[in-house]
Amino acid sequence: MTISVGDSLPGGSVLEMTADGPAPVDLAGKFKGRKVVLFGLPGAYTGVCTTAHVPSFIRTMDRFKDKGVDEVICVSVNDPFVMGAWARDTGADAAGITMLGDAEGGFIKALGLDFTAPPAGLINRSKRFALYAEDGVVKVLEVETSPGECTISAGESLLEKI
């Protein structure tokens, strides 16, 4: 079942690259009592993810903060090493975006936002989406119909809805 507006975000653990190496992140703790933007995408270093999706949130970071958002988080079914390198290469880390690796895809599956596209080599990945949650409850959710599109899940689009 796909998560919907009004649902509580599932908990779980993902990984973040730190100066000391990969570290577990308790998602329930990230969401509790906070305003959070969470966006997911098919994969680090892939075309639209790198050229459109992440840059849209880099461009809008200050405006999300102006709306009281505590944290902007990107999650992908990648390992934390890749997510850490991609954060540096895109400038997401400098912009303050938290880049999390859902290496096994468990969190994405719990959201009901997983997909597989063998011709593109994308197996058990995340659909492209963006959501806004308050205290772990989804207030706005935008899911692209195609992984190659980044319109309704872009930073600017989500920003207009909160």
- Domain holding 144, by residue range, is 13-161
Amino acid at 141: L
Q: Domain holding 113: CATH number? A: 3.40.30.10
Asked if the structure places residue 155 within a domain, the reply is: yes
Give the strand pairing for 137-143 and 129-134: antiparallel
- d(CA 12, CA 136) in angstroms, rounded, equals 12
114-150: pLDDT as tens digits: 988 877 777 788 999 999 999 999 999 999 998 889 9
Tokens of 19: 């100066």
pTM recorded for the entire structure: 0.95
Is 49 tagged catalytic? yes
- d(CA 88, CA 78) in angstroms, rounded, equals 15
- d(CA 103, CA 98) in angstroms, rounded, equals 15
Res 70: pLDDT = 98
Residue of 49, 99, 130, 154 marked catalytic: 49
Asked if the structure places residue 99 within a domain, the reply is: yes
Calculate mean pLDDT across residues 22-26: 97
Our count of domains for the chain comes to 1
Give 124 or 53, the one with higher predicted confidence. 53
